[in-house]
């Protein structure tokens, strides 16, 4: 249960084991789907209204925003973009920062990305709704 501060604001609380396992399974679908080029697995991890944005310098003087959606992530995955990461380098570590009701915040340090993810619990399980990433 969440602790409450004197002003009624909820603070971080313990994550239930089932939530942790289900969230980690979603993160596995996201990363392993990407690395393996498995569009079906990627689709299982994403909310249809996904808003994903990259913040990085692609040969420009100023970092730029690189937007993606559910559809573009499925297309990139199906095209095998994640397979470009050397198989030995395909690793990631997810830290579940908080779960409150039906929302969760997760930070993932991976090769070759760092992702800040917001997940929502849907009737079909936990799905990634928002993602902010940068190169690792």
Instruction: Report pLDDT digits (tens) over 41-69.
Output: 999 999 999 999 999 876 667 778 999 99
Q: How many domains does the chain have?
A: 1
Q: Is residue 3 part of a domain?
A: no
The domain of 65 spans 17-135
Sign, CA torsion 106/110/115/117: negative
Rounded Cα distance, 16 and 4, in Å:
18
pLDDT-based confidence at residue 127 (cuts at 50, 70, 90): very high
Q: Is residue 121 part of a domain?
A: yes
Check if the beta carbon of residue 30 is closer than 8 Å to that of residue 46. yes
The pLDDT of residue 61: 74
Residue 8 has pLDDT above 70, yes or no: no
> Cα angle at 17 between 11 and 21, to 5 degrees?
110
Q: Phi and psi of 103, rounded to 5°? A: -130, 150
For the entire predicted model, the pTM comes to 0.87
Check if the beta carbon of residue 128 is closer than 8 Å to that of residue 118. yes
Q: What is the CATH number of the domain that holds 131?
A: 3.10.450.50
Q: Is residue 8 part of a domain?
A: no
pLDDT-based confidence at residue 2 (cuts at 50, 70, 90): very low
Instruction: Report pLDDT digits (tens) over 89-99.
Output: 889 999 999 99
């Amino acid at each position: 249960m969440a602790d409450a501060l004197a002003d009624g604001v909820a603070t971080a609380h313990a994550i239930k084991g089932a939530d942790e396992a289900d969230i980690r399974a979603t993160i596995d679908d996201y990363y392993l789907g990407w690395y393996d080029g498995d569009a079906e697995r990627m689709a299982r991890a994403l909310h249809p209204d996904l808003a994903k944005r990259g913040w990085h310098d692609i040969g420009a003087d100023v970092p730029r925003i690189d937007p993606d959606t559910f559809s573009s992530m499925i297309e990139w995955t199906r095209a095998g973009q994640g397979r470009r990461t050397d198989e030995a380098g395909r690793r990631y570590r997810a830290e579940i920062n908080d779960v409150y009701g039906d929302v969760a915040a997760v930070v993932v340090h991976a090769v070759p990305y760092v992702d800040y993810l917001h997940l929502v619990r849907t009737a079909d399980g936990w799905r990634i709704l928002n993602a902010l990433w940068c190169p690792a």
